[in-house]
Structure 1
C-alpha cells in the first residue's frame, strides 16, 4: 500500500538495518554506504559479522530446494565475487572485523549505530537452530570480546544472521547486556517471551522483504525495485528494512538511493534501531513469541513473530 504524501513526517519511520556478512561487504560496501547516507542526511544501524568469512561454505546450501533458484533469479551470487565465494573452502577465511577495524569508529563518528552480526555468519545461519546453549554463548562471546577490543565499548545490539534465533539465543543475548535486537521477521516490536517471562530486551523485526527476495519475482527488476519497496512501507508504523553491505553497498547501490529518495519525498523519517527501540519502549512494548515461517522468495525457514503468522493472533 503506497504511503500518502499527507502522512505526518514523524508517523512513518524506516530503520535502515545494514547486515555486513563478509570482508568485501565491510571493506568496500560500508564506505560506499556511508557516502550514500551522508548525502541523503540519514543514519543507519550496521551489524557486522565479527569472525571468519566462510562464505564459500554456503555453497552447501545449493542442495536446498529454492536456494539455487533464488541465487540465479536475484543475481545474489555475483554480488559477492569469486574470492569471497572461495573463503572457507579453498582460501582461509579472514577475520572480517580485523580487516577494517577503523570503520567501526568512522561509522560511530558519523552518527551510525554499530552492533554485532555474530561471529561465523555461515555457521550461525546454517546450524544455530540446533545448537546447545553452551555453543550459542561461545559464539556470541567471541564476537562480544572482539567488538569490545576494537571499540572499547560493550555492544548493546545484535542482528541474527539469516533471521535464525531461538529462545536460548535470546536469553544469552539478554544475559550479555544486549538491550535491543533485530533477529526475526514480523510486523511490530515486541519483548520475546522465554521460559514464561518477557526478556528485558526489545526485538524490532524486519518488516520488509529484502532485495534478493523480490528481484525476478512478480516482474520486479533493478529498475523498479526501489519504487516497489517504497510502496511496501506501512504508513504510520515503524518499518525495518534489511540491506547488505555486499549488495546495496556495491553493485545495487542505486536501488537503495532510489528508495531513500522516494521515502524522503513522502516525509518518512529514518531512526536508527536504538532510536526506534527507545521510542517504542516509551509507549510500551507487547510480549510475543517467535515461531518458524517462510518468507516468499527465500529458501528455508526464518524466525517469525508468532502473532504475525497466519493464525498467530492479532
Structure 2
C-alpha cells in the first residue's frame, strides 16, 4: 500500500515573494527531492491596498503577531499607495518559467491578489470572468500553455468562479479549506473539477496563538500529522514566509513529514491518485478558520445531488 501524499502548495502573492522567495523554495525542494505546486499572482502587486483591512476585526492583532512588515517589506506594503504597483508577470516572468523548467508544477493564484481577495465574494459574473480571463491569458503568455490548476487568493471564491473552472481548462483546484478531496456542488450542480482543499493550518495562523512561536511551530504542525491521513494532506505555504524568514521551519517540516511516512509532492500527485467518480460531493460554504481574520471558502456538508455541470 502506497503511503499517503502530503501536497505542498506555494501561494505567491507579491513581486518580492516571486523574485526572492520562490528561488529559495525551489532550491529547498530540490535538496529535499520533492515536487511542489507554485501558484502565481500574475498581474499588478497592489499589496498596499490591504491597509483598508485595518478596520476589520482582528486584523491588527494578526499584523502584530505575524510581523507583516518584516515578512513583506516596507516597499511591498507601499505598492498601490505611495509607490506604483509593479506588474508581477512582466517583471518576474523569467523566474516563473525557471520554476516550470526545473520540473515543478505551476498554476494560477490570481491576477490581482488584493482586488480578488477583497471583492470576489460579492462580485458579479462579468467581473469574475474578466479577472479570471486576465490571469489565464497572462499564464498562457508566460508559459505557452493552459494552466491546469487554480488556487484562489485568500481562499476567496464565488459561484461564478467555481463554475468557470471547467471551461477555463483547470483539471483540479485548491480553492477551499477542508478535510479531504471532493467534487464541489454549487447551486445544486456538481462541478467536475475536483477540489483538493488545504487541510492543515498555515504558519501565520499558528504563530502567536496558544503559545506557538517560530521556534516550536514545526513541532505543533507535525503533531497534527502524526496520525497519518488516508486521503493525504495539502499544506499551503507562502513564498513571502517559508521562502524567506521561515525557511528553517520549512526544512524541519519536510524532514519531519518524511519521517512520519508521507510522500511529499505536488497537487498533481494527489490528482493522479484520485478517481474522479469516486470522490464525494460537498457543498461549499463560507466559514472561519482559527488564526485567520474574516471568512473564507470551506468544505461544507456532503451533498446527494446528481445534477452535472
TM-score class, shorter-chain normalisation, is over 0.9
210, 214, 217: which one pairs with 2:206?
214
Following superposition, the deviation at residue 213 of structure 1 comes to 0.5
Whether contact under 8 Å (2:5, 2:269) holds in the other structure is: no
- 25-34 or 74-83: bigger deviation: 74-83
Q: TM-score, normalised by structure 1?
A: 0.92
Q: List 4+ stretches of structure 1 deviating above 6 A.
A: none
1:253-303 CA distances to partner (integer Å, 9 max, x unpaired)?
A: 111111001111222111211221121226721111111111001110011
User: Which runs of 5 or more structure 1 residues have no equivalent in the other structure?
Assistant: 1-7, 309-314
74, 88, 105: which one pairs with 2:80?
88
247, 252, 265: which one pairs with 2:246?
252
Q: CA RMSD in A?
A: 1.4
Q: How does 1:129-208 map to 2 (within 5 A)?
A: 129-208=121-200
Following superposition, the deviation at residue 77 of structure 1 comes to 3.2
287, 290, 307: which one pairs with 1:293?
287
Q: Could you tell me which residue of structure 1 aligns to residue 49 of structure 2?
A: 57
1:166-203 CA distances to partner (integer Å, 9 max, x unpaired)?
A: 22110122221111111110001111112322112011
110, 119, 124: which one pairs with 2:111?
119
Q: Could you tell me which residue of structure 2 aligns to residue 311 of structure 1?
A: none
Cα distance between partner residues in 2 of 1:182 and 1:277: 11
Give the SS at the match of 2:65.
helix
Following superposition, the deviation at residue 30 of structure 1 comes to 0.2
- 186-195 or 121-130: bigger deviation: 186-195
Cα distance between partner residues in 1 of 2:213 and 2:186: 40
Give the SS at the match of 2:265.
coil
Whether contact under 8 Å (2:182, 2:195) holds in the other structure is: yes
Following superposition, the deviation at residue 52 of structure 1 comes to 0.3
Give the SS at the match of 1:188.
coil
Cα distance between partner residues in 2 of 1:208 and 1:283: 25
- 2:233 matches 1:239: yes
- 72-81 or 60-69: bigger deviation: 72-81
- 2:299 matches 1:305: yes
User: Which runs of 5 or more structure 2 residues have no equivalent in the other structure?
Assistant: 303-309
Whether contact under 8 Å (1:18, 1:45) holds in the other structure is: yes
